[in-house]
Structure 1
Amino acid sequence: MPGTNLTRAEAQERARLLTVDAYEIELDLSGAQEGGTFRSRTTVRFDAAEAGDTFIDLVAPTVHEVVLNGAALDPGKVFADSRIALDGLAAGANELRVVADCAYTNTGEGLHRFVDPVDQQAYLYTQFEVPDARRVFASFEQPDLKASFAFTVRAPEGWVVISNSPTPEPEGDSGAVWRFAPTPRISSYITALIVGPYHSVHSSWEGEDGRLVPLGLYCRPSLAEFLDAEDIFAVTRQGFDWFQEKFDYAYPFEKYDQLFVPEFNAGAMENAGAVTIRDQYVFRSKVTDAAYEVRAETILHELAHMWFGDLVTMEWWNDLWLNESFATYTSIACLAHAEGSRWPHSWTTFANQMKTWAYRQDQLPSTHPIMAEIRDLDDVLVNFDGITYAKGASVLKQLVAYVGVDEFFRGVQAYFRRHEWGNTRLSDLLDALEETSGRDLRTWSKAWLETAGINVLRPEIETAPDGTITSFAVRQEAPALPPGAAGTSTLRPHRVAVGLYDLVDGRLVRTDRIELDVDGPLTDVPQVAGRPRPAVVLLNDDDLSYAKVRLDPASLEAVTRHLGDFTESLPRALCWASAWDMTRDGELATRDYLELVLAGIAKESDIGLVQSLQRQVKLALDLYAAPDWRPTGLARWSEFALERLRAAEPGSDHQLAWARALAGTARTDEQLGLLEGLLDGSRSVDGLAVDTDLRWSLLLRLTATGRADGARVDAELARDATSAGERHAASARASLPTAEAKAEAWASVVESDKLPNALQEAVIGGFVQTEQTELLAPYTERYFAALKDVWETRSHEMAQQVAVGLYPAAQVEQATLDATDAWLASAEPGAALRRLVTESRAGVERALRARAADAAAGGAAGGGAS
């Protein structure tokens, strides 16, 4: 539908014509417990620069009234394709009134409605980014048409209603109407409503000037016992303190609520003063400290958005990276540097997880500049990716090093003051940073923000017979962009540190550090000549730049034997990340990567790194191992996981991590028997709490291997009759290794559109089991036969789950590539769907190359089953 997909040209013309003043929105949600539709009344006042025609956006089953400047328009004539045509606008002031019936959703878009199986109560929340405020009220749906928003909501008695403005006392004898004060000028996509019988906890933050900002936490009553409010408030106050100092701009809203909501598609959303967060972050079972770190980063990321994104907002979605990269960089910097932080090692986590995501994304056919070309809403909907978030934050970190920390934040302070409540482009931020740093940032911007792809840095070291270094240089490469990617590869300027590490009492200790600029294909490092060759030479030490780093042969040999012996976590993370990238690129065989992990992971103290390595090993064995050696590798890994589980300190995070790793890979009768025993209570591991979520992890492995059936799943669901239990049960049933289970799962997702977003995701996750490739093989043809219809008839979030989740990624064979190519040629999909499918195809192509490299390594070692 042309009206659903707004183009940038249309948005620019509408912004040229209109200045929007205010919305008054009345929503009757009194029937929310029953569902269906709700009445939406919108009055919007705006000015037109000249007489002319435009349109307002609305996604609604029925439009009852459209009144423009007092004249009633025929809805049957002016409402089509999710747009209401507004012809004959008066120059100057205009007023529009729209009355419609809008629909509750179960897709996590617009006004999502969820019924908790515990109390059978409905819980509502809005999710409007990118273009879904129009599912709730008529709006000019683009970020640069800011306005004030005043909501009036009718809801069932006893419920609470939360919005961007402070919650008023409800009106009426039954206390059923809430009239919120108008917001400041904000974009429509960050307005919000959260409605239902939510549980709440309240506190405040006090600034140095004595200002009190009310803080609220909300969740469903069925999760209230698990809401660790004081920990969440502590992280929030830490963020307020640090951001207030760095931004030197008062928190711009009247209160700050964080609402943990069900079936949320993303991690969180920066609605002004009313942040929604997925309620999986209310931990109902034991998790490792890495999970608390991820939650803290999410909390701080959304808080940073209150300034960067909400107070000052991008003009159009091509500058989405400005919002997301800034929030990512500052949230991690806060964790690393704020006084009293529990996670001063957060840059280690960033290097091992976020940058790995960026490197992977940047090598796909869909790679794009950080400042992407966004032609329409379809483009931006698939652009919340590793480049927008992680590469952008990496480059921002590099920019901070380039201009100086103090100069950077002084520029940000000037930017906030200059553009408060307005919209900006990249050039506005660069102007402010140039003023405070005195540096020309246009050349830097062109090299780093306006080009795609990734550079590779390699050390070139020559030594004398006595081990003395005679020459040292850094070789920079710009690999060709993947076929189909726009643009050309380029060499860039890098500010890097070179770390020199030697073994001291069995530990790898940095003995020297040299910081320099790398530019062009070869950069000489004369400072190193004449020194004894160190055990390890680590390029990009301290992770200052964004580049793939390779180890020279001698360093790789030392790291293979001593990776766990680095005294600091960041160089370990950089070496682990380099080894993983080499494995993905086919430069390091999967079997050799496994040996590296087996040799070093037992010494790894950082639990986040341990869990990343566990995921990467399993992925490598599933997709990158030569098929004839894969059973050997899986057997070694599962045996090692069992050994580490038994050796771990009772009750520790490492013990829990290894229990979950074993639950993901157990294969022998002994290992699966232990899972069964832990589940039924006949077996135990000292200190290991087999709580609700761990029970589901154990059961999922048992169902996937045929050791448990649907009746066992039903029994476990009876123990955990919650929404989380329903999701776990859906995954477990879909994982059963029978044709009947697969057919039922497929039908529920592809042939029906009744499942809500969270259950659909759970079914897909259980359906795809890499050890069931023969059972899943017939679904490759069925996937391509159904894909285009699913894409054209479902909402974006639901269609994307199917397009990505059910792609036959586990069928690592040429036939999958051929089937994909044939479909791309015949189906002629739109740009967004084409991007998702070609990204998935690239994963299979990479896996084939990695398998070939692993097979070659097995042949060189004397056979593929070593």
Structure 2
Amino acid sequence: MLRILLAGIWLFLLSCSTSSIGGDARLRGVGQGSDLLWTEAQSRKARLDNVAYTLKVDLTPEGDEFLGSATLNFDLKDPAQALRVDFFEGRVTRIEINGQAQPLTIKKDYWVELPAAALKAGANTVAIDYAQKYSRTGQGLHRFKDPEDGQFYLHTQFQPFDANRFMPCFDQPDLRATLKLQVTAPMKWQVVTATMETSKKASGSHQVWDFPPTPKIATYLFSLHAGPYQMMRDQYGDVPLRIFVRPALAKYLNSNDWFMITKQGFRFFENYFGVKYPFKKYDQLIVPEFSFGGMENVAAVTYTESSVTRSNPTRRQRRGVAGLMLHEMAHMWFGDLVTMAWWNDLWLNESFATLMSSIAVAQSTEFKEEWQGFAANLKRWAYMQDAMETTHPIEAQVSRVKEALANFDGITYNKGAAVMKQLRYYMTETAFRKGIQDYMKTYAYKNTTLPDFIGSLQAHTQKDLTLWADSWLRQSGTDQVATNWACEGDKLKAITLTMTPSKGAQFRPQALEVGLFGLKGDRVVALKQVRAELNGPAPLTLKGDWACPDFVYPNNGDHAYVNVKLDPNSLKLLETRLSDIQDLLVRSLVWNDLWRMVRESELPLKNYVAIVERNFQRETDEIILQQVVGTVGGGSSVLTYWPVDSDEQRAARTEFVRKFETDFLARLKLTSSGSDGEKFWVDNLIRFSETPTGLDAMAGWLKANRVSTRMPLDPDRKWGIVRQLVRFNHASANEAFERLKAEDRSDRGAKSALAVEAITPAAEVKSKWVNEITSKTASRPLEELQVVAYSLFPQEQDALKIKYEPAFFDYLAKNKNSEDEARSRTVIQGLLPLRCETKASVKLKETIEKDRDINPMVLKSIKMSLEEDERCQRIRRSF
């Protein structure tokens, strides 16, 4: 799934018994709610085989429910105990077991409990008729109403445990099953699932769609999407390719680009994995109010509508979409064809797809700069999360499904991918690829565990991968590498590499490449690269006939997963010559290192600001420019950490912002009209501006409806401008807001208007929204709630937030373990009473330490925000 989001996993409890537990005690775990225990899943797996579902779904009734009729066929080994069928809430109207009617009371809140007396050894058939509400939270079958045309659009999202919000099923990944589907839908709708329909028949004003059975796949990979989507077609060999998008967005979608990337991905993955695409068609759906970046439903991948811009996308945006597309495509093999047995191995699923998407983007598309983007963005996120107290081993314990969600994060996706990249270098690319091919062929349409994956790789290397797995997957944190080097005359005498494990960790073997760099005129150029393998904790000394460098970088090529401690000589050079390094990847890596040093209080913020001021104006690479701007403005940035206690500090911060706005505007004037460069500076001015220098310029663009002759303002950039004008009380703000609301009546426009209203710096506005989002009757779709909650209190409005601290603590107490965890987590994050100030953080910390009953996902999000707030306080103190 995704490439945006934020949560991940690994298990497991080797101390837990794997014997069959079953029975009523397990079925009714105290306080379990809509959850599934690993022990429960193991027990059920031991009893069941040959699961097949037949499902009829009627999407035509008016109101907020759809109708379903499910038939479950399965072989049962032990009929002596009751059997749980997962089914979240819903309204059941008929239950039959082996032809015998059952009392509806066997339907509990979150499952149907099949009584032992009705079951038999061998083949069983269960039939359940039901009605279920459409989702507004992105879980199960989600329904969206387009404000422009009044039409409904549906999509499903089942990972990790939400297929049972759609249909009664055994909702765990190792109970692979077939699904035969029949759907009744309005006449003009498209209906899409894992297989291509075999027939469509009119039935009055409706149409009945019949789909053949799927292959045996995990329940979280089932899907159903429906609505008056616009369809586009293409072909890859004998595989039909289709794209579905709302008509309102279709005019903005470059389908040729999407199909080109799709075909490039198919060619690459079929060759890399040594296995043909395993399914019979490939659909991609861009769906409204999607909660993630993408989801790898078998042969029916879903994407967020934010992957489509309402203007010509920049190269950077196109590269991001290509990465998202190829991440989900990689899952067709790794995740869909071969599936993890339990959610402890979700990290392997996601990290592998993240790595493979970057390999595919770099090798099969035009975006050869992908590895620089990987380092500047994905890997930096991994390092940041790995430095936090909430970090965890890549292989995290998952004793129940909700623990899986709590670790859906930068460790799962990005550290996992970075460590896989490191393993690929450590054992060589050829050996790694052969091992992957063996894995795909051996375990097709099966469920696997980590030892299966490691075993496939081990057959192709002499490296001890069991030791590697123990070292890298079961320890948290990031090791640090330091270099010590000296020259004799114009020759390098030696380089010594010293690795320091993270707190509490043991040595982790890995290979890296040491880069030697020297000054050549006004450039810093590469002199030599030396591969080094660190197979033990002792310092490693490298010697050779090498010219004396001016700068040594011990992670050249970004193969290692490690924090680089810059030696004093190199750091001194970088302070003034960083933008002169010719190797763009190394330049990106050094900027990452410097920002990490700020966050870890190894480099004072004012020193980092000085490095930025000396190097930024001479920087020309867009990835690095965006990387640096990202550290200067936005969340967890220079402007966040800048102390504002005194008038002098506030004035210095304002002047720093004004200087940056002035620089942005000056560089904007040097770009070509309509170019990516022009869009880059415009987008960052929209993001960054808060003084009259930037705000007045943006107000002028809005009035003219364009930035330049070839860059008219698209609706999304207009909303970004209006948001900043309202946020900072510009004189033109209110008029511009009202005009844009009337102009853009799309769904995206309506949500943007909510964000603008919520960010308005007025006490009465804050009261209105706080009261609404904390109300028991709050019913907005999750996406709208997120827009409001995350816009309410930007940093400069902390004073307005103080009065709502009682509302926050009251909401937390009442919703800390809500079944609607996505909604409650959103409200809690939006109202967190943190403002880079000790008193507030101490109170929150005391509250969560006393309360042991907070939902794991909610608790983790609070802890991460709390730690970030404490980091802000430390950095301000040492400014």
Deviation at 1:83, TM superposition (A): 4.2
2:669 is aligned with 1:652: no
Query: What pairs with 1:349-428 in structure 2 (closer than 5 Å)?
Result: 349-428=373-452
Deviation at 1:265, TM superposition (A): 0.9
Q: Deviations over 1:833-859 (max 9, x none)?
A: 3222111111111111121221xxxxx
Q: 2:94 aligns with which of 62, 65, 69?
A: 65
Q: Deviations over 1:213-254 (max 9, x none)?
A: 100001000111111000001111010001011111111110
Q: 1:825 aligns with which of 842, 849, 869?
A: 849
Q: 2:509 aligns with which of 493, 504, 514?
A: 493
Deviation at 1:184, TM superposition (A): 0.2
2:179 is aligned with 1:154: no
The alignment's TM-score, normalised by the length of structure 1, stands at 0.93
Q: Is the 8 A contact 1:748 1:755 kept in 2?
A: no
Q: 2:293 aligns with which of 256, 267, 272?
A: 267
Deviation at 1:188, TM superposition (A): 0.5
Cα gap change, 1:738/1:157 in structure 2, threshold over 3 Å: closer, same or farther?
A: same
Q: Deviations over 1:35-65 (max 9, x none)?
A: 4111111101111112232201101331112
Query: How far apart are the structure 2 equivalents of 1:213 and 1:654?
Result: 38
Q: Is the 8 A contact 2:792 2:830 kept in 1?
A: no
Q: Corresponding residue for 2:639?
A: 622
Q: Corresponding residue for 1:857?
A: none
Return the letter of the residue paired with 1:474. L
Deviation at 1:802, TM superposition (A): 2.4
Q: Is the 8 A contact 2:491 2:547 kept in 1?
A: yes
Q: Is the 8 A contact 1:288 1:607 kept in 2?
A: no
Q: Deviations over 1:625-644 (max 9, x none)?
A: 22225334333333333333
Q: Deviations over 1:504-546 (max 9, x none)?
A: 2322210101110124455233316x85542221111101111
Q: 2:608 aligns with which of 579, 590, 593?
A: 593
Q: Is the 8 A contact 1:117 1:721 kept in 2?
A: yes
Identical-residue share of aligned pairs (%): 32
Deviation at 1:789, TM superposition (A): 2.3
Q: Is the 8 A contact 2:200 2:209 kept in 1?
A: yes
Q: Corresponding residue for 1:43?
A: 71
Query: What pairs with 1:296-335 in structure 2 (closer than 5 Å)?
Result: 296-335=322-361
Query: What pairs with 1:710-749 in structure 2 (closer than 5 Å)?
Result: 712-749=736-773
2:224 is aligned with 1:193: yes
Q: Deviations over 1:416-440 (max 9, x none)?
A: 1211111000000111111133443
Query: How far apart are the structure 2 equivalents of 1:706 and 1:86?
Result: 64
Q: Deviations over 1:428-471 (max 9, x none)?
A: 0111111133443100110011111111112123456x576544
Q: Deviations over 1:752-810 (max 9, x none)?
A: 5211122111112321211111112223342222124234345232223223343244x
Query: How far apart are the structure 2 equivalents of 1:297 and 1:794?
Result: 33
Query: What pairs with 1:185-224 in structure 2 (closer than 5 Å)?
Result: 185-206=216-237, 212-224=238-250
Deviation at 1:368, TM superposition (A): 1.1
Q: Deviations over 1:160-184 (max 9, x none)?
A: 1000001333113445111110000
Structure 1 spans left out of the alignment, 5+ residues:
207-211, 481-487, 855-866
Return the letter of the residue paired with 2:52. A
Cα gap change, 1:789/1:327 in structure 2, threshold over 3 Å: closer, same or farther?
A: same
Return the letter of the residue paired with 1:676. A
Cα gap change, 1:323/1:682 in structure 2, threshold over 3 Å: closer, same or farther?
A: closer
Q: Corresponding residue for 2:522?
A: 506
Q: Is the 8 A contact 2:299 2:332 kept in 1?
A: yes
Deviates more, 1:593-602 or 1:753-762: 593-602
Cα gap change, 1:632/1:459 in structure 2, threshold over 3 Å: closer, same or farther?
A: farther
Return the letter of the residue paired with 2:184. R
SS of the residue corresponding to residue 351 of structure 2 reads: helix
Deviation at 1:589, TM superposition (A): 2.3
Query: What pairs with 1:202-281 in structure 2 (closer than 5 Å)?
Result: 202-206=233-237, 212-281=238-307
Q: Corresponding residue for 1:636?
A: 659
**C-alpha RMSD of matched pairs (Å):** 2.0
SS of the residue corresponding to residue 99 of structure 1 reads: strand
Cα gap change, 1:823/1:286 in structure 2, threshold over 3 Å: closer, same or farther?
A: farther
Query: What pairs with 1:521-560 in structure 2 (closer than 5 Å)?
Result: 521-527=537-543, 533-560=548-575
Return the letter of the residue paired with 2:174. D
Q: Relative contact order, CA 8 A, sep 6+: which one is greater? A: 2
Deviates more, 1:788-797 or 1:617-626: 788-797
Cα gap change, 1:441/1:113 in structure 2, threshold over 3 Å: closer, same or farther?
A: same
Query: How far apart are the structure 2 equivalents of 1:438 and 1:520?
Result: 16
SS of the residue corresponding to residue 437 of structure 1 reads: coil
Q: 1:79 aligns with which of 91, 104, 108?
A: 108
Deviates more, 1:621-630 or 1:101-110: 621-630
Q: Corresponding residue for 2:311?
A: 285
Deviates more, 1:104-113 or 1:825-834: 825-834
Deviation at 1:344, TM superposition (A): 1.0
Q: Is the 8 A contact 2:604 2:878 kept in 1?
A: yes
Deviation at 1:109, TM superposition (A): 0.9
Q: Corresponding residue for 1:802?
A: 827
Return the letter of the residue paired with 1:254. K
Q: For this pair of structures, how many residues does the alignment match?
A: 835
Q: Corresponding residue for 2:34?
A: 4
Q: 1:473 aligns with which of 489, 493, 496?
A: 496
Q: Corresponding residue for 1:460?
A: 484
Q: Is the 8 A contact 1:474 1:522 kept in 2?
A: no
Q: Corresponding residue for 1:858?
A: none
Return the letter of the residue paired with 1:67. E
Query: What pairs with 1:683-832 in structure 2 (closer than 5 Å)?
Result: 684-685=707-708, 687-707=710-730, 708=732, 712-751=736-775, 752-793=777-818, 795-809=820-834, 811-828=835-852, 829-832=854-857
Structure 2 spans left out of the alignment, 5+ residues:
1-30
Q: Deviations over 1:681-701 (max 9, x none)?
A: 188556543221111111110
Deviation at 1:554, TM superposition (A): 1.7
Q: Is the 8 A contact 1:7 1:375 kept in 2?
A: yes
SS of the residue corresponding to residue 579 of structure 1 reads: helix
Query: How far apart are the structure 2 equivalents of 1:449 and 1:360?
Result: 17
Query: How far apart are the structure 2 equivalents of 1:55 and 1:827?
Result: 31
Query: How far apart are the structure 1 equivalents of 2:255 and 2:867?
Result: 43
SS of the residue corresponding to residue 243 of structure 1 reads: helix
The alignment's TM-score, normalised by the length of structure 2, stands at 0.92
Q: 1:109 aligns with which of 130, 139, 163?
A: 139
Q: Is the 8 A contact 2:524 2:582 kept in 1?
A: yes
Q: Is the 8 A contact 2:137 2:822 kept in 1?
A: yes
SS of the residue corresponding to residue 497 of structure 1 reads: strand
Return the letter of the residue paired with 1:624. Y
Query: How far apart are the structure 1 equivalents of 2:819 and 2:615?
Result: 46
Cα gap change, 1:605/1:72 in structure 2, threshold over 3 Å: closer, same or farther?
A: farther
Query: How far apart are the structure 2 equivalents of 1:501 and 1:686?
Result: 44
Deviation at 1:97, TM superposition (A): 0.9
Cα gap change, 1:686/1:15 in structure 2, threshold over 3 Å: closer, same or farther?
A: same
Q: Is the 8 A contact 2:423 2:510 kept in 1?
A: no
Cα gap change, 1:634/1:697 in structure 2, threshold over 3 Å: closer, same or farther?
A: same
Query: How far apart are the structure 2 equivalents of 1:566 and 1:296?
Result: 28
Deviation at 1:831, TM superposition (A): 3.2
Deviates more, 1:182-191 or 1:740-749: 740-749
Q: Corresponding residue for 1:607?
A: 622
Q: 2:591 aligns with which of 565, 576, 585?
A: 576
Cα gap change, 1:682/1:78 in structure 2, threshold over 3 Å: closer, same or farther?
A: closer
Cα gap change, 1:788/1:171 in structure 2, threshold over 3 Å: closer, same or farther?
A: farther
Query: How far apart are the structure 2 equivalents of 1:785 and 1:467?
Result: 68
Cα gap change, 1:457/1:781 in structure 2, threshold over 3 Å: closer, same or farther?
A: farther
Deviation at 1:361, TM superposition (A): 1.1
Query: How far apart are the structure 1 equivalents of 2:432 and 2:115?
Result: 44
Q: Is the 8 A contact 1:335 1:344 kept in 2?
A: yes
Deviation at 1:351, TM superposition (A): 0.6
Deviation at 1:397, TM superposition (A): 0.9
